[in-house]
């Protein structure tokens, strides 16, 4: 787990200190920590941890579930830190997709087991493609791709932070991607299913961009999204 970088969201100082001591003992890097929503979201975006350890109950207006929703939109893996919670909070937790739960009070062995399982999932699911754009070789995480757009015999790969023109056709570029997460919604577009915001009769909204949806493809897309 030498490449693992953890960010901790925890509002109990003693628990935070204990977590940091355990991670330091085992050579796991903690890149930062916070006890509230705004600071945590901002620092996670800047520090780019590979895993977030996230307390569900925070002493603030927005809690760990709110942060989890934000992280899922950014494809950032996280584990929940949890003790007994009220039924309303639990119902919200069920709508999220953490890599697991660290139950308080936790043991060192139990904590590390959960971290190792989460790291195994991260490594096995991380899908990086190698592309060449503007004369540069780039390693690109598929989870960060919003959509592909055809451009003659070339193709644009568009992410939330920029776009890359690569010397391959749309068809050849799409073959580099995991078909479980991408869908051809139009003859000139492939979209990341994980980034779809909404679907209308003729459009697919991905992030803040509206992309054409072919009539014959709408039923297939809706079937996939309902699974």
Q: Report the distance separating Cα 185 and Cα 13, nearest Å.
A: 49
Task: Collapse the DSSP code of 188 into the 3-class scheme (helix H, G, I; strand E, B; otherwise coil) and give the result.
Answer: coil
Confidence of residue 114 (pLDDT cuts 50, 70, 90): very high
Residues 110 and 197 in one domain: no
Domain stop point among 125, 160, 192: 125
What pLDDT, on a 0 to 100 scale, did the predictor assign at position 73? 78
Residues 97 and 121 in one domain: yes
Residues 85 and 138 in one domain: no
When pLDDT is averaged across residues 148-152 and rounded to a whole number, the result is 96
Instruction: For tokens 């995480």, name the residue.
Output: 141
Domain stop point among 90, 125, 160: 125
Residues 118 and 11 in one domain: yes
Domain stop point among 125, 140, 161: 125
When pLDDT is averaged across residues 82-94 and rounded to a whole number, the result is 81
Task: Collapse the DSSP code of 196 into the 3-class scheme (helix H, G, I; strand E, B; otherwise coil) and give the result.
Answer: strand
Write the DSSP assignment of the chain as a string of letters: -TT-EEEEE-S-HHHHHHHHHHHHHTT-EEEEEESSHHHHHHHHHHH--SEEEEES--SSSS-HHHHHHHHHHTT--EEEEE----HHHHHHHTTS--S-EEESS--HHHHHHHHHHHHHHHHHH--EEEEEETTEEEEEEGGGEEEEEEETTEEEEEESS-EEEESS-HHHHHTTS-TTTEEEEETTEEEEGGGEEEE-SSEEEETTEEEE--GGGHHHHHHHHH-
Residues 86 and 154 in one domain: no
CA separation (Å) from 123 to 30, 51, 117, 200, 203?
A: 18, 11, 10, 35, 34
pLDDT at 186 over 90: yes
Q: Which domain holds residue 113?
A: 5-125
What pLDDT, on a 0 to 100 scale, did the predictor assign at position 160? 86
Residues 83 and 138 in one domain: no
Query: What is the pTM (predicted TM-score) of this model?
Result: 0.60
Residues 73 and 59 in one domain: yes
Q: What is the CATH number of the domain that holds 103?
A: 3.40.50.2300
What pLDDT, on a 0 to 100 scale, did the predictor assign at position 170? 97
- What domain count does the chain have? 2
**pLDDT tens digits for 9-29?**
999 999 999 999 999 999 999
Residues 102 and 146 in one domain: no
Q: What is the CATH number of the domain that holds 208?
A: 2.40.50.1020
What pLDDT, on a 0 to 100 scale, did the predictor assign at position 42? 95
**pLDDT tens digits for 26-77?**
999 999 999 999 999 999 999 999 999 999 988 778 999 999 999 987 778 9
What pLDDT, on a 0 to 100 scale, did the predictor assign at position 128? 80
Q: Give Cα 37 to chain centroid, integer Å.
A: 17
Q: Give Cα 100 to chain centroid, integer Å.
A: 14
Of 19-23, 135-139, 202-206, the poorest mean pLDDT is in 135-139
pLDDT at 86 over 90: no
Question: 21: which 2 tokens?
Answer: 């001591």
């Amino acid at each position: 787990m030498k490449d693992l970088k953890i960010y901790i969201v925890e509002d109990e100082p003693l628990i935070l200190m204990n977590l940091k001591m355990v991670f330091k003992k085992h050579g796991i890097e903690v890149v930062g920590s916070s006890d509230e929503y705004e600071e945590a979201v901002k620092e996670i975006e800047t520090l780019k941890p590979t895993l977030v350890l996230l307390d569900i109950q925070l002493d603030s207006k927005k809690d760990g579930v709110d942060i989890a929703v934000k992280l899922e939109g950014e494809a950032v893996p996280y584990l929940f830190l949890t003790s007994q919670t009220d039924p309303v909070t639990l119902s919200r937790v069920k709508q999220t997709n953490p890599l697991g739960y660290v139950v308080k009070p936790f043991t060192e062995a139990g904590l590390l087991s959960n971290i190792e399982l989460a790291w195994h999932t991260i490594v096995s699911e991380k899908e990086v493609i190698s592309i060449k754009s503007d004369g540069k070789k780039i390693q690109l995480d598929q989870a960060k791709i919003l959509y592909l757009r055809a451009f003659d015999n070339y193709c644009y790969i568009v992410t939330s932070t920029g776009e890359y023109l690569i010397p391959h056709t749309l068809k050849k570029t799409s073959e580099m991607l995991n078909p479980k997460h991408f869908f051809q919604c139009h003859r000139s577009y492939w979209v990341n299913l994980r980034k779809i915001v909404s679907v209308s009769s003729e459009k697919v909204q991905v992030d803040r961009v509206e992309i054409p949806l072919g009539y014959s493809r709408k039923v297939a897309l809706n079937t996939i999204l309902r699974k």
